[in-house]
Amino acid sequence: MKERTKFFLIAGVFAAAYYVPWSHPLIRQSGLEAFMMLQEYAREHVLTCLIPAFFIAGAIAVFVSQASVLKYFGAQASKILSYSVASVSGAILAVCSCTVLPLFAGIYTRGAGIGPATAFLYSGPAINVLAITLTAKILGWKMGLARAVGAVVFAVATGLLMALIFRKDDAARTAGQIYTPDDDAKERTLLQDALYILTMVLILVFAAFAKPAPGSTGLWPTIFAAKWYITIALLIILAFMLKAWFTRDECKSWIESTWGFMKQIFPLLGGGVLAAGFMLGRPGHPALIPDYWVQSLLGGNSVWANLIASLAGALMYFATLTEVPILQGLLGAGMGQGPALALLLAGPALSLPNMLVIGSVMGVKKTAVFCCIIVIMSTIAGMLYGAWIG
């Protein structure tokens, strides 16, 4: 952290302590809600959801070669292959909205078509494994599934539309193949790496398995009753895999990568939870912003509500994962399910700072079209989801 950043952080805390009227009942209630929401996250989501997801993200970052993904975006690559890889690259690369920008600039300036490049630009942060996991855990599996499916569809549709609209400009660009170094030789097979990551995914699934509704019968209550036995068995299997297939240095790199994600994300997420709790409160517990404000702008499933949500998601900057607690508060205050999905689909790859960077890479015109495509599709997707869920 830079010294200037430390200074502004200290100054901000001092200003809040000095000027915020904590004696006011509403401010005091909002402050309580902030820490109550933080406690809820710590108790219900961190150990069984976030920690396993951090380890998965760390493993992907260390053991899945970025070069092996990026090489498929070159001008000579199959279009079907290019768009397929671009649309799911977020889950493979596990990058945030900031990290994806230099990767996008690299593949675009080295000859990638505008279609696969913009599909990758959207997909990179949109299918972040941590964000999808937290969305499903906190906002419900339907919202998590809709976000994951919508992100993949959006990535392909955005890339195809950009390629169609700017086909003449794209053809005039210098054709070239992206240079990517060969993958380092390793002793493990692709199947072993896949089984290793799959085991951690299953640990995440069973550790975070939610309690069924009272009176439920069938498979789900049985799985819930046995969830910790299954999780422990999977942890033992994972330990054997690490012992047999990985060197000490590889395990060290995995832990360091996981710790890097945690250092980067936990403070931001904690700050986001506190801010969301202070401004919006938990569902059913009012805080600083009155519920009727949210209901008047974002309630229901109108075109206006979905468009406002899409524009807000496109312009605002959400640090990684902070959009989830903010949406939790908005939903509790009366935001519609459709506008919530619209914000989730428009927000990951776009923000005002990101637009400036993207514009410097591919020009103002292409950037404006890219942003308009995402906002329009997010609005439509929000309306369709709201009509389906409602």
Q: How far is CA 111 from the centre of its chain?
A: 27
CA pair distance 290, 281, nearest whole angstrom: 10
Task: Say whether pLDDT at 95 is over 60.
Answer: no
Amino acid at 36: M
Task: Say whether pLDDT at 11 is over 60.
Answer: yes
What pLDDT, in 10s, does the model give residues 295-352? 788 888 899 999 999 988 887 766 566 778 878 888 887 888 999 999 989 887 787 7
What pLDDT, in 10s, does the model give residues 125-158? 777 777 788 888 888 889 989 988 998 899 999 9
What pLDDT, in 10s, does the model give residues 245-299? 998 998 998 899 888 878 877 787 777 778 878 887 776 677 888 777 877 888 8
Mean pLDDT of the chain: 80
Q: What is the pLDDT of residue 334?
A: 84
Q: What is the pLDDT of residue 185?
A: 47
Give the contacts of 113 (CB within 8 A, at least 6 positions apart). 73, 75, 82, 163, 170
Task: Say whether pLDDT at 94 is over 70.
Answer: no
Confirm if 199 and 237 have CB atoms less than 8 A apart. yes
Residue 320 DSSP class: T
Highest mean pLDDT: which of 70-84, 99-113, 204-218, 300-314?
300-314
CA pair distance 195, 247, nearest whole angstrom: 17
Confirm if 355 and 316 have CB atoms less than 8 A apart. no
CA pair distance 260, 249, nearest whole angstrom: 16
